Chains A and B, each alone.
Chain A
Amino acid sequence: MHVLSTLAQIGSGNLGMPPQASTYAADIDWTYAFTFWSCTVAFVIIMVAMIWFIWKYRHRPGYVQQGAPAHSTSLELFWSIIPTIIFLVIFYYGFTGFVDMATVPDYAYEIRVKSRKWSWDFVYPNGAVSSHLVVPKDTPVRLVLSSDDVIHSLFIPAFRTKKDVVPGRFNWTWFQAIANAPIRTEGVSADDKLLDKELGLDYFDLYCTEYCGTNHSMMRARVYVREPSVFQEWVTKQADILGTMPPAEGGKYLYTAKGCKQCHTVDGGAGNGPTWKDMFGYKQPLVGGGSVLADENYIRESILNPGAKLHEGYSNIMSSMQGNITEDEITAIIEYMKTLSDKGPKPMEAWPDAAETPAAAVE
């Protein structure tokens, strides 16, 4: 099956490139096809000439070598100048295509992309945050990229978009999505289906393409293209995602959405960071001796200043979440951790202000 689908992909019109889902993809594919066919012709000429000469002038009984000139300036100029012209044509198309990719329309919708080992945050103008990228269709979108630690790179093959995410500076790129992704049927685990019950399985892949350590290859996300009205609805709801669920459930959502999952397990398994299973309410051994009770303050401190009291057996690799997390979100995570510990108190069933409302109503 793989062989057939692979051959079908290669044989399809765009020479093995992914679907064209952005405005500039077709232009890049055209340049690619032009270069491809120029190269194919050149390759065939070279190989046919080589094999033909070897056959025709091979040493054999009765073959007498004839003399041939050892150089010919006009011939050599010919095969210097012709390739140069073809190269310049390829350069020209590559350059003009690149200028389109580098020129952002003034009215582009702006999404901030924050990255760290090994997760992405997509921050929308209304404050909504998501771990998968959702973009409005037929609308220019400008991504402003920043990294908290090392260099990452954002790559969306279907859009032909790629830009390094460099710490210490903002990079940006843009695209305009013109098509939605087909719904996935293979390669999706049951887990994934649960996670994306709202967004669905019609997504493009987004990869980190600059090597960034252990879980580099898992630093992937999904790109959803939505009709502008559907997008608007989603982004409005997403801005207050915590308000729509009880705190502990919100913490569980953030565990995945904020990328905590990359290092911390919730089932007692090992990871790059300590497991959250039975952490809340227990004393935690520290690097350099001593211990600390894992209460609300310790967890808050460890999120905002991970190196302050380092858990024994782990190194200080977590980036501070300072500026990337709100007080409500910290609360939600603490409430979620309570549900994971047999010593944890019963978590809040609802957000404090929501809980007060019924009481106020009684008054």
Chain B
Amino acid sequence: MSTTTPPITPPSSPHSPSSSGGGGGEVNYINATKGIKSWMFTVDHKRIGLMYMVGVMSAYGLGGLFAILLRSELWNPEPSFIGGAEAGTTEAMNNAWDFYNQAFTLHGAVMVFLFIIPAIPAILGNMVLPIMLGAKDVAFPRLNLLSFYFWVLGGLFFVWVLSKGIINSFYPGMIEIWGPGGLETGWTFYTPYSTTTQNSAVVAATFGAFILGFSSILTGLNFIATVHMLRPKGMGWFQLPLFLWALYATAIIQILATPVLAITLLLLIAEKTLGVGIFNPALGGDAVLYQHFFWFYSHPAVYIMILPALGIISEVVSVHSRKSIFGYKFIAISSLAIAFLGFLVWGHHMFTSGQSALTNAVFSLITFFVAVPSAIKTFNWIATMYKGDIRITTPFIYILFTIGLFTIGGLTGLFLGCLSTDIHFHDTYFVVAHFHYVMMGSTLFAFLAGVYHWFPKMFGKMYNVFWSNLGGIIAFIGFQLAFFIQFIAGSQGMPRRYASYPEHFEFYHQVSTVGAYTMGAGMIIVLLTWIVALRTGKKAPANPWGGNTLEWHTTSPPPTANFHAEPTAEEPYDYSGWKYVSPEEGWVQRTPEEREAARQQLGTGH
């Protein structure tokens, strides 16, 4: 339970949210206490969520900057952008390629460890999970703050590695003093490259990832305990909002898989610093063993990244279609099925590594089974829209993009699960395109949809719909430009992680680079709409979308204790109790008679 005292507010009934609103004279979690200490030592899950938001979005900006840099370098086959000035000399070329290798490594590492994994659970999960449960906070509020500081500490290791690299490139003399900086192993840290490279930053970076793992584990632990212990009376497992099912399944993966990554990275550090032979054949180790350990975590980690996104799709599709989610149980159970099967497919990253044909066949088969629950979810979302009363709002538009990108990402995964075609596509741009569609396209757009969905609740402000939609549309077009053509480049055989490439791939790369710039422009618009909304946005109503999960039953933004009076469990996707009044008032509760009438009218369809 929360250790902070709920602020004393006039007891407004949770069932008359029209009487309340954000800002103004209302006391809410943002203005309840003031001063930097009230944030740094807060145990309020909402404030922790906001602090994560600042940190994680900064990491996203950094990762995005690297993406722009590396796409610029790939504009033409020769070193073109960095260090290419003294063109032609071996030194200039090596510098350019080292720079490119560091840029793609840090792009990947920052995006995976600091952005995608924490984005939805740590920001939106922290923000709404306890409120959706009608709880005052997560089960272990102090642990929640600790996991935030673990995230910060882990992030600092990456900032350190990065700054060393930048400073070294300006003052090469510093290399003599503190060794090389930057990181050029790829975010996967494959051995024996990572343990034999002269670059000492490998230890700092892997240790950073190790610490970030603890942040992830503690958040997962907290969410599991919260979902188990703090559900309100009357909320059985099958009244749990689907976003929470998704976060719950994610949390299970986090606490089961992340320790394996921690062990693997420790073994890597042991080999690198103590010379213990584990992965390096020259020391008697096995190079492929590392890949098994690494993917035993990192494949489930793919589902840590995507499952929360799928949860957001389920929420947003249902609320904005004004219709109960279709096939609730199938969606809920498919989250658990994905979490379970996700542990059994790691070998599909190693079809070309020389593992036995039988092993390959088994992993390929299980990989196809993990595709089934994803297909089920997609069909259920479409069926939810059938006979809905669809409001084409900003979150809904972003969710349509998400569904489109997830469908392409999921379907192209079939080419990679399929043994004979994967041999050709493995480690080409086809794979790059595929995982960007799934991890970046789907997760990022779902995250943005989630932010736009809960923005009024989080900040009590509304945003400019036109610019928010425009930013999303530009980012979506940029994304398609940047990545769709990479499927074609990949099928032509363009290998990934190439600083330089044969000339006949130039066209694909230039289209892709234009797409990356376009997407960057769209993302800047999106971020600006948030900032402008925070400063000058209109006051948000308590329930701008007519959602029925419990966070819409409290004020926007909520008080520190989340509710003014203890809420009771609701059927999360029954919208008959709400009617739309006006943009300022949002949706308000119907009287029981009105609600009965609405049910009667909808009941005719049965």
Contact = CB atoms under 8 A, between A and B. Distances in A.
4 closest cross-chain pairs (CB), A and B? A168-B281, A67-B605, A157-B493, A97-B420
A65 B387 contact: yes
A210 B498 CA distance: 10
Interface stretch (A2-10, A119-127, A225-233, A241-249): A2-10
Contacts of A53: 382, 385-386, 388, 390
Interface string B311-342: 00000000001111111111000000000000
A93 B97 CA distance: 39
B287 A167 contact: yes
Contacts of B280: 167
Contacts of B286: 168
A352 to B, nearest CB: 34
B8 to A, nearest CB: 40
Interface stretch (B239-247, B356-364, B549-557, B558-566): B356-364
Nearest to B501: A217
Given A59-B391, A149-B192, A215 B94 contact: yes
A269 to B, nearest CB: 5
Contacts of A187: 502-504
Contacts, number: 299
A283 B414 CA distance: 60
17 contacts: A28-B421, A35-B415, A59-B391, A67-B387, A67-B601, A68-B323, A68-B605, A70-B328, A71-B327, A87-B369, A155-B428, A162-B423, A166-B281, A187-B502, A217-B497, A220-B502, A269-B89
A71 B376 CA distance: 12
A65 B501 CA distance: 56
A169 interface: yes
B382 A76 contact: no
B330 A71 contact: yes
B382 A94 contact: no
A98 B368 contact: no
B293 interface: no
A157 B352 CA distance: 14
Interface stretch (B18-26, B115-123, B211-219, B402-410): B402-410
Interface in B574-606: 601-606
A232 B363 CA distance: 41
A16 B485 CA distance: 11
Interface of B: 89-91, 94, 97-98, 101, 184-186, 190, 192-193, 196-198, 280-282, 285-288, 321-330, 352-354, 357, 360-361, 364-365, 368-369, 371-372, 375-376, 378-380, 382-383, 385-392, 400, 403-404, 407-408, 411-412, 414-415, 417-424, 426-428, 488, 491-493, 495-504, 506-508, 573, 601-606
A216 B412 CA distance: 27
A3 B507 CA distance: 7
Contacts of A57: 321, 385-390
A59 B328 contact: no
Interface in A206-238: 207-218, 220
A359 interface: no
A93 B422 CA distance: 12
Contacts of B501: 217
A75 interface: yes
A116 interface: no
A272 B428 CA distance: 27
A218 B90 CA distance: 12
B496 A209 contact: yes
A225 B454 CA distance: 61
A168 B287 contact: yes
B282 A98 contact: no
A46 B360 contact: no
A358 B426 CA distance: 57
B493 A207 contact: yes
A190 interface: no
A272 B94 contact: yes
Interface in A18-44: 18, 24, 27-28, 31-32, 35-36, 38-39, 42-43
Interface in A140-196: 149-151, 153, 155, 157-158, 160-164, 166-169, 171, 186-187
Nearest to A80: B376
Contacts of B352: 153, 162-164
Contacts of A205: 493, 502
Interface in A61-113: 63-72, 75-76, 79-80, 83-84, 87-88, 90-91, 93-102
Contact of A155 (B328, B329, B411, B495): B495
A58 B506 contact: no
A6 B487 CA distance: 13
Given A95-B364, A213-B101, A215-B97, A155 B390 contact: no
Contacts of A157: 424, 492-493
A70 B326 contact: yes
Contact of A83 (B197, B375, B392): B375
A270 interface: yes
B492 A16 contact: yes
Given A79-B379, A87-B372, A66 B602 contact: yes
B328 A71 contact: yes
Nearest to B317: A50
A31 B492 CA distance: 16
Contacts of B184: 213-214
A16 B322 CA distance: 43
A161 to B, nearest CB: 7
Given A71-B329, A76-B327, A217-B501, A149 B418 contact: no
B190 A151 contact: yes
A254 B352 CA distance: 31
B495 A209 contact: yes
Contact of A54 (B392, B408, B428): B392
Contacts of A256: none
A270 B93 CA distance: 10
A354 interface: no
Contacts of A95: 361, 364-365, 419-420
Contacts of A72: 327
B198 A315 contact: yes
Contact of A271 (B94, B324, B507): B94
Nearest to B392: A58
Contact of A46 (B325, B376, B382, B386): B382
Contacts of A270: 89-91, 94
Contact of B361 (A15, A38, A68, A98): A98
A32 B411 CA distance: 12
Contacts of B408: 43
Given A157-B424, A209-B496, A90 B368 contact: yes
A294 interface: no
B192 A28 contact: no
| A57, A160, A317 — most chain B CB neighbours (10 Å) | A57
Given A66-B387, A167-B282, A215-B97, 15 more contacts: A47-B407, A50-B385, A54-B385, A70-B325, A83-B371, A94-B421, A97-B421, A98-B423, A150-B196, A162-B352, A209-B428, A216-B97, A216-B101, A217-B500, A217-B501
A60 to B, nearest CB: 9
Contact of B497 (A49, A83, A211, A317): A211
A91 B368 contact: yes
B493 A18 contact: yes
A94 B499 contact: no
Contacts of B495: 155, 207-209, 217
B52 to A, nearest CB: 31
Contacts of B390: 53-54, 57-59
A185 to B, nearest CB: 11
A214 B423 contact: no
Contact of A10 (B379, B386, B488): B488
A17 interface: yes
B205 to A, nearest CB: 15
A292 B280 CA distance: 33
Contacts of B392: 54, 58-59
Nearest to B193: A150
| A18, A50, A101, A171 — most chain B CB neighbours (10 Å) | A50
